[in-house]
A and B are shown apart, each in its own frame.
Chain A
Amino acid sequence: MNELLSAILLLSTPLLPIVLAFPPLRSHLFRPCHIALFPAIILLAVPSVVSIELPWLLFGSGFDIDGVSRWLLAMSVVIWAAAATLLPSTGNQAADNRLTIFFLLTMAGNLGVILAADVVGFFTFSALTGYGFYGLLVAGGGETARRAGRIYLGFMIVADLLLFEALLIAASSTTDMRFEAVRLAVTGSPSSSLYVSLVLAGFALKAGIWPFHSWLPLAFRSTPPAVALLVSGVPLAMGLLGMVRWLPLGDIALPGIGLIIQFVGVAGILYAIAAGVKRTQLQLLPAYGAMIATGFFVVALGTWLADPVAWNQYGKSSYFFIVSLGFGIVVVVAAIAWLQASHHAPAAHEKQEDDSGLWIERRAGAVVRWGKRVGCDTLPGLRATWRAMADPLLQIHAWQKALDVTEYSLQRWMLAISLFLLLAVTVVFLAG
C-alpha cells in the first residue's frame, strides 16, 4: 500500500502541474500554482527511497527519489513556492492566464527532471522545462525580455540537438537508459570523448555557463522577481544537475577535456567578476553571482573529469553545491525585491543599462570592424566587387524564385523526360 502511494506521489509530482496548466481545470482553485506543489511536498515527507519503473513509457522509463534528489526537490519546492507567491498579476486575465500556463509547465518539467531515473526521462522533462521557461521569459512582453528569450531559445534548440546526439551515442552502446547503465556503457565506448563533449556543451548552453551566458543578465534585468527566482532554480540548476547525472564522472579519466573545462570555468569567473563590477544595477547582482558560482562548479567538474579519484572523494558535494546555489540565489533575489519595494525603487524590468560590454569586448568588436574595413578596402574597388558578388547570393527571394522556376520547368518537361526514359528502357529491354 505504501509503495502504491509512493508511486502515485512520484507520478503526480510532475503530472499535477501539467494537469493544472489547463485553464478549465484550475479556474475554481485558490492558488493553483501552490496546489500544484502538494505531491512534491508530501513526497519530501516520505523518508525512504522510492522508485517506480514504467516499461510502457517512452523506451521504458521510471522515476525515483533518494537522499540526494530529496534535497534537490526541497530546493525546487522552496523556489517554486516563493515564485508562486511573487507571481505578479497584470490585471489582464489573458496575460495572467498565459503566464500561469508557462509557470506550471516549467514547474512540471523541473520537478520531473529531478525525479527522472533515466536519461530519456531527464531529456524529456528538460525539453518541457526549456520551452516552458522560454514562455515565462517572453511573457512579460518587453524588448529586453524578448531578446533574452530569443537567445535562450536558440541556445536551447542547439543544446537539445547536442544532447540528442549524445543520447544516440549512448543508445548505440546500451538499451538500458538508466543513468548508471549509460555512464557505464559510454565509459567503455570508443565515442566516450565525443559523448562527454556533447553533454558538456549541451548543458552549458542550457545553464547559461560562460561563454553561453548572454541571456542570463538580460533575463534577470527584464523579468519580474518571480521569474528571476526561477532563472537560478530552473535552467541553471538543471544544467549542472544534468552534467553530474549524465557524465561518467569517477569512471573515466579525460585529462585533456578536464583541462579545457577548468580553463572555461576560470575564464567564466574572471569575466563575471569584471562584468559584475562594471554593472551598477542591483538586479544584475544575482546574475553575475550565479556566473561566479557556476564558474567554480565548472572548475571542479574539470578536475573530476581529469581525475576520477577526486570525484569519488568529493563528488557528493556537487549536489549540495547545486542546492546551496539555488537557495542562495532565492535569498539574494528575494532581498533585492524587498529592498526595491521598501525603497520605492523603479520597476526592475526594462530599466536602461549600459550595454556596451566590458572594455575587452568593445576592443574586440572594434578590431573585428577594423579588420573588415581594412580587409575589404586593401585594393580599390575590392569592397564593391565583394558586395556585387555577395549581394545576389544573399537575396533569399532570388533563390526562391530560381527554385520555383526550376520546379516549374521540371514539371513542364516531366512528361517528355519520362517518355524518353521509357523509350530508353524499352530499347535496353529489347536489346537484352
Chain B
Amino acid sequence: MNWNAGLPLLIVATSLFSGLMIFFLSEKHVVARTTLNLGGAMLKLVLVGVMVWGVFHGHHYEARLPLLPGLDLVLRADAESMLFVVLSSGLWLLTTNYAIGYLEGSPHRSRFFGFFSLCVMATVGVALAGNLITFVFFYELLTLTTYPLIVHRETEVARRAGRTYLIYTITGGALLLVGTVWLYSMTGTLDFSHRGFVTELLDTHRTSLIVVFVLLIAGLGVKAALVPLHGWLPQAMVAPAPVSALLHAVAVVKAGAFGIVRVVDDVYGVEATTKLGVSAPLAALAAVSIIYGSLRALFQDDLKRRLAFSTVSQVSYIVLGIAIIGPIATTGGLVHLVHQGVMKITLFFCAGNLAETLGIHKVSEMNGVGRRMPWTMAAFTIGALGMIGVPPLAGFISKWYLGVGALDAGQEWVIYILAGSSLLNAGYFLPILYAAWFKPAPDSWPDERSFGRLETSWALLAPPVVTAVLTLAVGLLASAPFSPLRWARFITALEYIP
C-alpha cells in the first residue's frame, strides 16, 4: 500500500486507535488519557494538513477495501471532503481540549473520551467517503458512537433524549440504506462523481429516481435536523456541552448536511436534480426549517435549547444554498458548512462555561454576566453577531453568497427568507447580549465556582476565544488564500464549470 492510499486510512485510524486505547485506561490515568486525546487530535490535524497540501497540488489520495462483490469501501480525498475534514479535525482538537477541562474530576471519563474519539473517526469517515455505501457505513457508525455521549450523564432525562435520538437516527439510517440499495440496483455503481451518476436514467427511471431522492433526503434530513425531522436535536441538549458542540458544529448535523450536499452534487448532480424537479421542494423545506427554527428559538428560556433551535435554522442555510442550484448559492451553502460550525461551537463553548462556572442554564439568569465573565461573553457576542449576519463576521459572508446566488438563479423569494431569518436571529440573540452587558448583575449566581484571578479555567476559556477569533478571521479574510470561501469557490467551479 503506497502513501497516497495509506494517508486516508491513517487519518481515520488516528482517532480509532486513540479511542480504543482510551477505553482500556482507568479513570486515574489522567495524563495518559490526555496525552492520547490531544496527541491523536494533533496528529490527525497534521495528517489532514499534509493531505490538503497534496490535494491542492494535484495528488490523488484513495484507499479501497473490498466490502461486497462489486462494492468497495472507498476513502477518497477530494475538494469537497477536504472542507469537511479540515472543519471536523480542527474543531475536534479544540473540543477535546475543552472537554478535558469540562469533565475534570467527573466519572466515566475514559468511556466518554473513547466514544468521543470514535465519533470523530466516524465523522472523518463520512467526510472522506468516496461512494454512497461508505458514506452510509460511517454515517451509521456515527449514530452508534454518539449515543453513549448523549446519555453520558445517565440521568432519566439523558436516557430519554438518547432513546429519542436513536429512534430518529436509526429510522433515518434505514431510509438512507433503502434508498442506497435501490439506487445501486438501478445504476450498478455508488461512486461519487462531480456531475452525479444518474443522468442516463432520467428518461427511463424518472419516478424511481424521485422516490430514491426523497428517501435519501429523509434519511439525511434527520441528522441535518430538517423540519419536521428535527425533534431529537433540542432534546439532545441535555448532553454535556462538549457533546453539544460535537452534535451541532463538528459531527452529527454536519454529517447530515454534508450528505445532502453529496446527494445533490455527487450522486444526482445539479443537472439531474433540476430536471427531476426536486430542488424546489428541497429549497422550500430548507426555508421552512430556517423560519421555524428561528421562531422556536425566539421563545426558549433554556440557553442550550435556544441554541439548538438556532441550529435547526442555521444548518438549513447549507441545504438552501445547495437546493437553489447555482454556482454562487452553492458556494454560500458550502462555506456555511464551515462558518456555521465555527460560530455555533463558540456559542456552545460559552454556554458550557456559563453552566460550569456560574451554574447559569437559562437566558433569564444571564443579567450582568458580561461583567463577571467578559472574555466568555465577548466570544459569545462575536458568535451571536456572526449568526445574525453582522459584517465582517462569518455569517455575513454566507448570507451574502446565498443572497447574491438566489438573485443570480432568479429566486428572489430567498431574499425574504434571509431577511426574515436575520430579523428573528436578532430577536433571539440581541436580548441575551443586552441582558449580559447592560443589565445589573444579581447579588449571587446560581452555582458559582471560583478560578482565582481567571473568570474560568484556561481549558474552558481558550477554545471559545480561539473560535471567536476564527469567526472574525474567516469573515474578514474571506478572500485570502486557503480561506473557506476560496475553497468553497474551488469546489463549486468543479461542479459547474464544464
Contact = CB atoms under 8 A, between A and B. Distances in A.
Contacts of B419: 161, 164-165
B44 to A, nearest CB: 28
A165 B422 CA distance: 12
Contacts of A428: 211
A66 B261 CA distance: 47
B390 A414 contact: no
A48 interface: no
Interface in B184-243: 207-208, 211, 215, 218, 228, 231-232, 234
Interface stretch (B164-172, B267-275, B355-363): B164-172
A425 B211 contact: yes
B478 interface: yes
Contacts of B371: 94
Interface string A151-175: 0010001101100110111011000
A410 B231 contact: yes
A91 interface: no
Nearest to B172: A418
Given A124-B391, A165-B419, A407-B231, A425 B480 contact: no
A123 B475 CA distance: 14
A58 interface: yes
Contacts of B490: none
B215 A56 contact: no
Contacts of A135: 437
A127 B404 contact: no
A60 interface: yes
Contact of B175 (A403, A411, A421): A421
A422 B175 contact: yes
B157 interface: no
Contact of B478 (A58, A397, A403): A58
Contact of A168 (B164, B168, B390, B404): B404
Nearest to A170: B404
Question: Helix, strand, loop or mixed for chain A's interface?
Answer: helix
Interface residues of A, number: 48
Contacts of B392: 58, 124
Interface in A33-83: 55-60
A5 interface: no
A127 B475 CA distance: 14
Contacts, number: 104
Contacts of B38: none
Contacts of B404: 168, 171-172
A56 B480 contact: yes
Contacts of B35: none
A400 B297 CA distance: 10
B479 interface: yes
Contacts of A123: 391
A418 B215 CA distance: 10
B232 to A, nearest CB: 7
A418 B174 contact: yes
Interface string B366-410: 000001000000000000010001111000010110011001100
Contact of A418 (B171, B208, B423): B171
Interface in B33-48: none
B415 interface: yes
Given A164-B403, A169-B407, A400-B299, A414 B422 contact: no
A182 to B, nearest CB: 13
A388 interface: no
A381 interface: no
B391 A157 contact: no
Contacts of A127: 390-391
A396 B215 contact: no
B153 interface: no
A172 B430 CA distance: 30
Q: In this complex, which of B174, B391, B475 has the most chain A Cβ atoms within 10 angstroms of its Cβ?
A: B391
A131 B423 contact: no
Interface string A387-424: 00000000011001001000110110011001001100
Interface in A269-301: none
B391 A415 contact: no
A171 B400 contact: yes
Contacts of A56: 477, 479-481
B17 interface: no
A236 interface: no
A131 B390 contact: yes
A59 B215 contact: no
A396 B427 CA distance: 15
A430 to B, nearest CB: 11
B231 A55 contact: no
Given A168-B403, A172-B404, A58 B426 contact: no
B407 A411 contact: no
Contacts of B422: 161, 164
Contact of B215 (A165, A169, A171, A425): A425
A175 B191 CA distance: 36
A98 B232 CA distance: 40
Contacts of B299: 396-397, 400
A400 B296 CA distance: 8
A200 interface: no
A428 to B, nearest CB: 7
B23 interface: no
B479 A58 contact: yes
A171 B408 CA distance: 10
Contacts of A380: none
A261 B475 CA distance: 36
B477 A168 contact: no
A168 B178 contact: no
B496 interface: no
A397 B207 CA distance: 43
A428 B234 CA distance: 34
A411 B391 contact: no
Give me the 5 closest cross-chain CB pairs, A-B, nearest first. A56-B480, A124-B391, A172-B407, A418-B171, A168-B403
21 contacts: A57-B476, A58-B479, A59-B478, A60-B479, A124-B392, A127-B391, A157-B430, A161-B419, A164-B389, A167-B400, A168-B415, A169-B407, A172-B407, A400-B296, A410-B231, A411-B164, A411-B167, A414-B167, A415-B167, A418-B175, A425-B182
